[in-house]
Amino acid sequence: MADKLRTLQNLEALQARYIGTGHADTTKYEWTSNILRDSYSSYVGHNPLLSYMSVGMGEPKEKVRTMMLEKMVRGAGNPPETQE
């Protein structure tokens, strides 16, 4: 029992520390939102990638960066209705 508890606590610590650490009840919405946000933050963080997109879009990098961060706010859209 104690072992199980410790595993649970470890998992919770991980989940608090690293967002996106999954659990048994991760929903599709949580998972996709997470992937999307990870991707956008990666685009913002890797300069060549941001530059690549900015050349494609014909917009300055700063505008593309803001656009990506705004998309992170949105994530995968509205969450699904929860059934009570």
Partner 1 sequence: MATTSHMFMYSLTIQPPTAITQAILGQFSGTKEQQIVTASGSKLTIHRPDPSQGKVTPIFSQDVFGIIRSLAAFRLAGSNKDYIIIGSDSGRITIIEYVPSQNRFNRIHLETFGKSGVRRVVPGQYLAVDPKGRACLIASVEKNKLVYVLNRNSQAELTISSPLEAHKPQTLVFAMISLDVGYENPVFAALEVDYSEADQDPTGLAYEEIEKVLVYYELDLGLNHVVRKWSDPVDRTANMLFQVPGGADGPSGVLVCAEDSVTYRHSNQDAFRVPIPRRRGPTENPERKRTIVSGVMHKMRGAFFFLLQTDDGDMFKLNLEMVEDENGQLTGEVQRLKIKYFDTVPVASNLLILKSGFLYVASEAGNHHFYQFEKLGDDDEETEFSSDDYSADPSVPYDPIFFQPRTYENLNLMETINSLNPLIDSKITNLTEDDAPQIYSVGGTGARSTFRTLKHGLEVSEIVESELRTVPSAVWTTKLTRSDEYDAYIVLSFANGTLVLGIGEVVEEVTDTGFLSTAPTLAVQQLGEDSLIQVHPRGIRHLLAGGRVNEWPAPQHRSIVAAATNERQVAVALSSGEIVYFEMDTDGTLAEYDERRQMSGTVTCLSLGQVPEGRMRSSFLAVGCDDSTVRILSLDPDSTLENKSVQALTSAPSALSIMAMADSSSGGTTLYLHIGLYSGVYLRTVLDEVTGELSDTRTRFLGAKPVKLSQVSVKGQTAVLALSSRPWLGYSDIQTKSFMLTPLDYVGLEWGWNFSSEQCVEGMIGIQGRNLRIFSIEKLDNNMLQESIPLAYTPRRFVKHPDQPLFYVIESDNGVLSPATRQSLIQDSESRNGEAAILPPEEFGYPRGTGHWASCIQIVDPISTKSVVFTLDLEDNEAAVSVAAVPFSSQDDETFLVVGTSKDMSVSPPSSGGGFIHIYRFQEDGRELEFIHKTKVEEPPLALLGFQGRLLAGIGSTLRLYDLGMKQLLRKCQAPVVPKTIVGLQTQGSRIVVSDVRESVTFVVYKFQENVLIPFVDDSIARWTTSTAMVDYETVAGGDKFGNLWMMRCPGKVSEQADEDGSGAHLVHERGYLQGTPNRLELMVHYYTQDIPTSLHKTQLVAGGRDIVVWTGLQGTIGMFVPFASREDVDFFQSLEMQLAAQHPPLAGRDHLMYRGYYAPVKGVIDGDLCEMYFLLPNDTKMMIAAELDRSVREIERKISDMRTRVAY
Q: Closest Cα to residue 21, out of 82, 13, 77? A: 13
Binding track, positions 19-58, relative to partner 1; x by CB under 8 A: xx------------x---xx--xx-xxxxxx-xxxxxxxx
Cβ 6 to partner 1 shortest distance, Å = 23
When the beta carbons of 20 and 22 are compared against partner 1, the nearer one is: 20
Structure tokens at 21: 């650490």
Counting residues that bind partner 1 (by CB under 8 A) gives 41
DSSP assignment string, 25-64 = T--HHHHHHHHHHHHHHHHHHSHHHHHHHHHHHTS-HHHH
List interacting residues with partner 1 (CB under 8 A): 16, 18-20, 33, 37-38, 41-42, 44-49, 51-63, 65-66, 69, 72-75, 77-82
